[in-house]
Amino acid sequence: MNIQTFNLTGKIALITGGYGYLGKAATESLAYHGATVYVLGRSEKKFETAFSKNEFYKKRIHFQVCDVASTDSIKNAYGQINQKEAGFDILINNAFYLSGNNPLKMTDEDWQTGIDGTLNSVFRCIREAIPVLIESGAPRIINVSSMYGVVAPDFDVYLDFPESINPPHYGAAKAGIVQLSKYYASFLGSDGITVNTVTPGPFPSDSVQQKTKFIDNLSKKTSLGRIGKPEDLAGAFVYLASDAAAFVTGQNIIVDGGWTSV
């Protein structure tokens, strides 16, 4: 019996946007548990800034240029990693991009950009990864949604902070992520590929945390009375990537301090 439940040694993991505020913690936790992690992104400089002082930098954490807006870029990134590693086992779709946030002034172009960058990009990354993941012994796809893909925003939280208001295309696309995960969990189950979602709650970035009243508003919405820290979220990715979740698929793990449960 394998008792190394969370041991990811020998696993090759890909994470889009893995040098961002939440992605960095997930990347480091995967590497800590033994995985070789390729961070897919557009900026090698941001990657180096994030990880140059990490003990696993260049040993287990590597950069691969990839623009999730482009199918050709995704194919090229997967191809280069496949050549180096003879495959990969774990795909984490964490990156997104959008424009516009005012629900009254949002343009058609803003809407289309947000849906493309938050939902369509995940579809592209899944589609192109399937032929490689089928060859893995323990293939995993983990998609990142949001609490606003599960519940509507409480706009009272944003009354004094209109610049931080959550936009409508973001929540709509993140809700789509949950369904997309369920769809592919069903479709790919016979190939042994598990597909799950991690849904973060309030995890404002360091810059947003300077707005103390806004952070207080967010904290009051959770059962635990505080905002999330990146390390609060990282374990969910390790769990879903590991043998501990071998019989878990089509599920949405919500890490929100109880925001959506009450």
The residues spanned by each domain of the chain are 12-154+167-205+229-261
CA 163 to chain centre: 23
Q: What are phi and psi of 90, to 5 degrees?
A: -130, 130
SS3 153: coil
Q: Which of 150, 146, 88 is nearest to 122 (CA)?
A: 146
Q: Which of 250, 80, 258 is nearest to 180 (CA)?
A: 250
CA distances from 117 to 11, 14, 24, 27, 121 (A): 28, 18, 19, 21, 5
**H or E stretch at 220:** helix 212-220
Longest Cα–Cα distance in the chain: 58
Q: What is the pLDDT of residue 2?
A: 58
> Measured between alpha carbons, how far is 153 from 174 in angstroms, rounded to an integer?
13
167-216 per-position pLDDT tens digit: 999 999 999 999 999 999 999 999 999 999 999 999 999 999 999 999 99
* Percent of the chain scoring above 70 in pLDDT: 98
DSSP 8-state assignment for residue 121: H
With DSSP H G I counted as helix, E B as strand and the rest as coil, what are the percentages for the chain, rounded to 5? 50, 15, 40
Taking residues 141-162, what's their average pLDDT? 96
Report CA torsion sign: 252, 257, 260, 262. positive
Question: Which amino acid is it at 257?
Answer: G
Question: Which amino acid is it at 239?
Answer: Y
Bridge partners, residue 62, by sequence:
38
Q: Which of 200, 80, 187, 76 is nearest to 141 (CA)?
A: 187
68-93 per-position pLDDT tens digit: 999 999 999 999 999 999 999 999 99
Among candidate residues 19, 38, 148, 170, the one labeled active-site is 170
Question: Which amino acid is it at 133?
Answer: L
Q: What is the pLDDT of residue 262?
A: 75
Taking residues 19-23, what's their average pLDDT? 96
Cβ atoms of 54 and 30 within 8 Å: the answer is no
Superfamily of domain 12-154+167-205+229-261: NAD(P)-binding Rossmann-like Domain (3.40.50.720)
Taking residues 84-108, what's their average pLDDT? 96
Contacts of 163 (CB under 8 A, 6+ apart): 101
Residue 239 annotated to the active site = no
Structure tokens at 199: 């849904």
42-78 per-position pLDDT tens digit: 999 999 999 999 999 999 999 999 999 999 999 999 9
Report CA torsion sign: 25, 26, 32, 35. negative
